[in-house]
């Protein structure tokens, strides 16, 4: 049975929109754990558009589950990772102009650089995952590089419908089996929501699903009425 990693980047997005102190993603990580999250995922981006350095170090000290740090394979992030020592790291592609991660890491084209980068992390006893598209070539190169995990990009699956989505699901299933045969642990994520998650979760030997946006959106939907009522009560109680 797959476990659930909750990505709290979007909590930090709300905070950074006003450059203030709330909502605090560290506090929301605690709530996610109360809800049953098996790990907490954060993406520390080069431009620091949402999660901040302060957040990741406080999370490392306070959460009770596991910390998954998403990051680009840059010298700056390597230095932070070796200081932070998260439970595991997911290497992702990163472009300043993108709204969110748009696709998987091309491990083939960056083979030697990533091999050296991963070796540096594993020397510090950090397990490392590659966020990749579900293609055999990328999986095989991930194994050669020395990744412990892969995270299959499910964005295309989430965008499709009908038979096209079925075909993409089969690709993800086959990719999971190939990775397992190579000894890689398989996670998946991107675009998963309350309508499409079950078929991915039911894949044999799927380890963990990392989900953020749809959970935060759902939290707003089921919690906004209560928060408005509380504010209304404070205003009208004089």
Q: Just list the catalytic residues.
A: 43, 70, 190
CA atoms of 210 and 198, how far apart (whole Å): 13
Question: In 3D, which of 90, 138, 98, 152 has the Cα closest to residue 117?
Answer: 90
Residue listed under structure tokens 């699956």: 157
């Amino acid at each position: 049975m797959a476990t659930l990693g909750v990505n709290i980047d979007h909590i930090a997005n709300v905070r950074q929109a006003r450059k203030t102190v709330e909502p605090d993603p560290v506090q929301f990580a605690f709530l996610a754990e109360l809800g049953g999250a098996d790990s907490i995922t954060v993406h520390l981006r080069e431009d620091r558009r949402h999660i901040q350095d302060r957040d990741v170090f406080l999370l490392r000290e306070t959460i009770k589950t596991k910390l998954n740090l998403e990051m680009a394979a840059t010298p700056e992030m390597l230095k932070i990772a070796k200081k932070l020592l998260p439970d595991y790291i997911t290497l992702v592609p990163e472009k300043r102009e993108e709204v969110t991660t748009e696709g998987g890491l091309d491990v083939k084209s960056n083979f030697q650089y990533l091999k050296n980068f991963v070796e540096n992390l594993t020397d510090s006893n950090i397990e490392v995952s590659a966020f990749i598209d579900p293609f055999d070539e990328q999986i095989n190169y991930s194994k050669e590089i020395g990744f412990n995990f892969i995270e299959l990009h499910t964005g295309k699956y989430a965008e499709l419908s009908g038979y096209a989505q079925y075909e993409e699901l089969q690709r993800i299933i086959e990719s999971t089996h190939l990775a397992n045969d190579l000894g890689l642990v398989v996670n998946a994520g991107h675009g998963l929501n309350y309508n499409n998650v079950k078929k991915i979760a039911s894949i044999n030997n799927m380890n963990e699903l990392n989900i953020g946006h749809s959970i935060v959106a759902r939290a707003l939907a089921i919690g906004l009425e209560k928060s408005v009522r509380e504010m209304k009560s404070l205003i009208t109680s004089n």
